[in-house]
A and B are shown apart, each in its own frame.
Chain A
Amino acid sequence: MEVKLSELKPGDKAEILSVKALGEIRRRLLDLGVTKGLKIKLIRKAPLGDPIEISFRGCYLTLRVEEAESINVVKIGEVGDGKPMGNQKKIKHCKIGEHDGK
């Protein structure tokens, strides 16, 4: 099911479907590697609930909830996420929370 990145809970894993942000925020996200197909994990929310921290490929990134609202994702590991197992074309070499191992 398609949800916004801002709707995830700590511990949730998800794959990015689209980045709807514009301008500087969009470019910043792209520069840091946040693009379609990226698998991320929501690590935590800040003590006051905003911003949030995500991780991917061994890096940690924070963004505000209002920025996360412009990113659409689909949760992974949920029954009925609509993805056949093992269909991870774009990011096959990388698992969540670790570098591409051999």
Chain B
Amino acid sequence: MASNVITVALAGNPNSGKTSLFNELVGANQKVGNWSGVTIEKSEGTVNHNGFTLKFVDLPGTYSLTAYSPEEVIARNYLIEERPDVVVNVVDGTNLERNLALTVQLMALEVNMVVALNMHDEVVRQGTKIDIELLERLLGSHVVPTSAVKKTGLNNLFDHIIRVYSGLIVSAKDKLSFSERIEEKIAELEQLLKTESGLDKYSTRWLAIKLLENDKHVYSEVKEYPVWLRIGKILQDTYDDFEQKGYDDPELVIVEDINAFIRGAVQETVIYKVRESKTLTDWIDTFLINRFLGLPFFFVIMWLVFQFAFRLGEAPMGWIELGFKYLAIGVGYVLPAGILHSVIVDGIISGVGGVVIFLPNIVLLFIALSFLEATGYMARAAFVVDKVMHFVGLHGKSFLPMITGFGCSIPAIMATRTLKNRGDRIVTMMIIPFMSCGAKLPVYVLLIGAFFAPEMAGNVLFGVYLFGVAIALVSAVLLKKTIYKGESEPFVMELPPYRMPTLKSIFFQAKIKAEMYLKKAGTIILLASVLIWVASSFPHSQAIKQNFQEQKVQVVKSNYVDSEKQSLVAELGLMEASAQLEYSIAGRAGKLLEPIIRPLGFDWRIGIALVTGLAAKEVVVSTLSTIYSLGETQDGITDLRAALQQDPNFTKATALSLMVFVLLYIPCVAAMAVFRQEAGSWKIVGIYSVYALSVAWLASFVVYRVGLLLL
């Protein structure tokens, strides 16, 4: 025995309860990261048991170990390259036949395996009898009944892992055999493969099977070796020979042999109690996803999720905002007004606040989503709306993240992780910001209130939202046809039986998402918010300050009554803030932008607001207030409306154009940071930014020009 540290990989089907079991096995001692190069979660955790340290790695849930989906490639590469000491294969005991397919593939890989017969409580409740001893003999590995819900079998599983590691239990490697004509070819190929020393990290038998199965990864691996010349010929001959004789192709024969093996094993070891003709799942589905009620139920559930995540999130977001406000006031007592005060209050505190403020949304949304996922409704939701999404080239699962985008792009972009196909996922992320988020609403409210009659307000607002959705759908088609063309993920998907999820796994999911957001995105968001603050505060003009100081002194010296003096000084203060903003980097950027945004009906003032709006979309409103020298008073928005109406450059067409631009141009830095984190490359962020800005410009241009003609 080399050491007391055992690496244990957890492999199993999606819906086998693997993640719940993992959470029960390692408890809070887990850390979550990504598998290198991809944004698929990798959970690891450590447990001490009887003097051994068990390091668990939760592999992505897969039905198989072929080389098609990224999950399968990750799981398979990990098993081959990292060679974990023990593999725990988690199987759903209530659906043994399906789950054993992966078990057989693990047997073919010749790993040291323990089978965790999970959901055993449910097996017992259904009255199913499984002859575990016989199953062990057939599979050549030990089988341990477990239940994540009832927390049973966990210690037994630990013991078995240690005994397999210590060599007290040896997995039999010769249990899986194929039809004669396949075995012949396997033997022939193995003999050749054994002559290549470079391939010895693989089991030669496994390589031979995979070659016969036409596995593209194994093909390209073996192609690197001189022996390929002879192997390639054997494979070609085999395929030709099978075809000539009218057999199924080798891949199909292997699959059928495996199925026959599994069916035999299940038939010999499992006795099902006669089932009721309709299970609970059948009953629920008869209502929940039927032809007439399927869509209404779907929309009600989406609405509930939305309310849960965003309405319920409002209160804690308010507390967080208030907390940071008090913190800022507190700092004001300690530090005198000045540059340091400004750095801490306006830069750091508001920056950190800007990160933390999204936490309630993220936590609540992921509680809701993992609940839907774990109960089994998520797959059904995709089933109900897939046709719509397929129409624009996406997958049914894209719908939910898109809807979430109406609340906030950040959790919406994070929610695209449910999409397995990378192209689908990137395209979904790119169109989410077109779904008008909550922070853009104040901008619409301001502009609609200023330029449209009250009876028109609702229609205009609805129109803006609808316009966003239309642009999102058209963009999906466009992006899918150009940059991310290629096959979508097939929609061949299991609808798992309805189950009550464990609280622990839901809690962990939410916690993981919160941590990921704070650690990864939080730092970029903080940095970017501080940068925007710096841009809108510096450089600071002493000349402007002095000029206004002198004017204030003159006011004080003048013979106005005191109350008039006060309001005049206050007004001068607002004008000073406006002048300073104009002088700052953001102000200059706004002016620099003017030639580009002039055709959209925007002057430099709107330019500045669009720049600072990158910090958060509602900042567009407060920046306009500052530029028009208005304070942030109670009736600030009324004053601002009046100011905009009086501005001769600002017309109805400008208002429409600005709403469209704010709707479509790149989202706030927080969303961009999350985008970067989830997309995994700046290049994609770059492509998106160019696309979004172009679309925003073009759409605003058209709206403005048409608006000028018609309004």
Q: Residues on A close to B: CB < 8 A? A: 23-25, 27-36, 43-51, 53, 57-64, 67, 93, 97-102
Contact = CB atoms under 8 A, between A and B. Distances in A.
22 contacts: A23-B68, A24-B68, A24-B69, A27-B64, A27-B68, A32-B494, A44-B285, A46-B291, A46-B387, A48-B295, A60-B285, A60-B495, A60-B496, A62-B493, A62-B495, A64-B390, A93-B267, A98-B274, A99-B128, A100-B270, A100-B272, A101-B272
B301 interface: no
A18 B230 CA distance: 32
A100 B495 contact: no
Contacts of B255: 30, 35
- Most chain B Cβ neighbours within 10 Å, of A36, A44, A46, A93: A46
Which 6 interchain pairs have the tightest Cβ spacing?
A48-B387, A31-B64, A47-B294, A60-B495, A99-B272, A25-B490
Interface string B259-297: 100010011001111110100010001000111101100
Contacts of A23: 68, 487
Given A30-B255, A61-B492, A47 B101 contact: no
A50 B491 CA distance: 11
A102 B272 contact: yes
Contacts of B267: 93, 100
B390 A101 contact: no
Given A30-B255, A45-B291, A47-B291, A61 B494 contact: yes
B386 A53 contact: no
A25 B487 CA distance: 10
B63 interface: yes
- Most chain A Cβ neighbours within 10 Å, of B275, B396, B487, B495: B495
A28 B396 CA distance: 17
B291 A59 contact: no
A28 B291 contact: no
A59 B98 contact: yes
A8 to B, nearest CB: 15
Contact of A44 (B98, B291, B295): B291
B384 interface: yes
- Most chain A Cβ neighbours within 10 Å, of B281, B290, B490: B490
Contacts of B465: none
Given A32-B98, A62-B492, A98-B275, A50 B66 contact: no
A38 B496 CA distance: 19
Interface in B556-602: none
Interface of B: 63-64, 66, 68-69, 95, 97-98, 101, 128, 248, 251-252, 255-256, 259, 263, 266-267, 270-275, 277, 281, 285, 289-292, 294-295, 379, 383-388, 390, 396, 487, 490-496
A61 B495 contact: yes
A35 B252 contact: yes
Contacts of A32: 63, 98, 492, 494
B493 A57 contact: no
Given A59-B494, A62-B495, 9 more contacts: A47-B291, A48-B388, A51-B387, A53-B383, A58-B95, A59-B98, A61-B493, A62-B493, A63-B493
- Most chain A Cβ neighbours within 10 Å, of B64, B256, B386, B492: B492
Nearest to A99: B272
Contacts of A51: 383, 386-387, 396, 491
A13 B291 CA distance: 19
Nearest to B297: A47
Given A30-B255, A59-B95, A99-B272, A46 B495 contact: no
A41 B63 CA distance: 22
Contacts of A99: 128, 270, 272, 275
Given A27-B66, A30-B255, A97-B277, A47 B494 contact: no
A44 B290 contact: yes
B487 to A, nearest CB: 7
